[in-house]
Amino acid sequence: MHNRVLGIGLTGKSLTDLERKIITETSPYAIILFGRNVGDAKQLRELVAEVKRIAKRPPLFMIDEEGGRVDRLRHLIPGLPSVESFGEGDQPVELSAWLGKIIGRALRYFDIEVDLAPVVDIRGDTSPKGLERRTFGHDPETVIELAGAFMDGLHAAGTAACLKHFPGIGIGSADPHYGATVIDISYNDLRNRDLVPFAALGNKAGAIMIGHGTYPQIDEPDLPATLSNKITTELLRKVAGFHGLAITDDMEMHAVSDYGSYESISERALRAGNDVVMFCSHIERVPDIQRFLAEKIKDDTGLRERVEEATRRTAAYRQHIGYLRRDGLPPAPKFDDLIDETARFVDVFEKTRHAQDGVIPDIERRKDSRTPGTGRTGREEWT
């Protein structure tokens, strides 16, 4: 049961012996892919297929594929623009939906079930570090319309969505990859602005990612949302009316990882109301987390009931994905079909532009290496 509430990352483009052992013996609920896992189309398909073949219960595959600066497949399917750029030209709804469809078809081709998108944070006067050009608009109505269209495109292709970053980090003070990001906003302002897209789109998406922002006017000043019952349960379930799967952002980000051992923060995240807890870089720690949770669940009735609730939601989300795949477009027979559609999309997109360019060139995206001791986590790679 404890394995069904963990999401993990892989270290490279092929499985290590340790990864095979973990996947074979205690399959996690989800595997999150990053740029470090993507070589060419054949390699990525083989990696996904091997994991599903050796797992006792095949995990769901998830990936952050937004377009623009968060684009894990950029070396395979180049040219996907940032979603902020749709508001700078014509046909924003149509293009948002088409981008969602292209990404959804690409993920189906690789047998990746979930896109960790769209971002439904509402942009402030300036975007915090890490969120530049990733938001659909300055107001709830625009975000609902464009992010909703993007999600409809994903669903039409048979790919599931996950809204992020609850309860909204659009006016955050910093990048949570590196430390605390503070959203100093009143309860009424949060409810009437930032929560609105989550409430409108959440149950259709079926999954919402909880961010690591701190909300000093809502809960303890230094407590990340992922560890806050008031935010992850009361706001999410009772105020936003969400009934689906709550997923943490990567628990190895510095905004939350400094709050205790991986074992401790995994327990705290579950107690707060998260249903899936993500550890995206240090897979060697996963067996210890699994053993810790297994022992805790045996001895703690409250935690066991919380995990049982979480596993019901993980099962429901898996069923939701099954319906999307049944009713969506069939997977593309050839990778070249995806490239051809992307080229058509980019051509139409460029014709709708109003002189400025909203796509951050590859050369300007993060170039820092993921080397031990640099203080970086897997989730910020390529972000």
CB atoms within 10 A of CB 276: 28
Tell me which DSSP letter residue 246 carries.
Answer: E
Bridge partner list, 115: 63, 161
Catalytic site positions: 177, 249
- Cα first-last separation, the chain: 32
The rounded distance, in Å, linking the Cα atoms of 246 and 267 is 15
Order of strands, sheet of 6-9, starting from the edge strand that comes earlier in the sequence: 160-161, 114-115, 60-63, 30-33, 6-9, 277-279
36: CB partners within 8 A, 6+ apart:
11, 12, 13, 370, 378, 381
What sections of the chain are H helices per DSSP?
17-25, 41-54, 92-109, 140-156, 187-189, 195-205, 229, 254-257, 262-272, 286-299, 301-327, 335-351
Q: Which of 304, 67, 314 is nearest to 206 (CA)?
A: 314
The rounded distance, in Å, linking the Cα atoms of 120 and 136 is 7
The whole-angstrom distance between residue 112's C-alpha and the CA centroid of its chain comes to 13
CA distance to 118, 163, 221, 382, per residue, from 171 (Å): 17, 17, 16, 22
Greatest Cα pair distance, the chain, in angstroms, is 63
Query: Cα-Cα-Cα-Cα dihedral of 201, 30, 234, 214, to 10°?
Result: -100
Tokens (6 digits) for 318: 């898996």
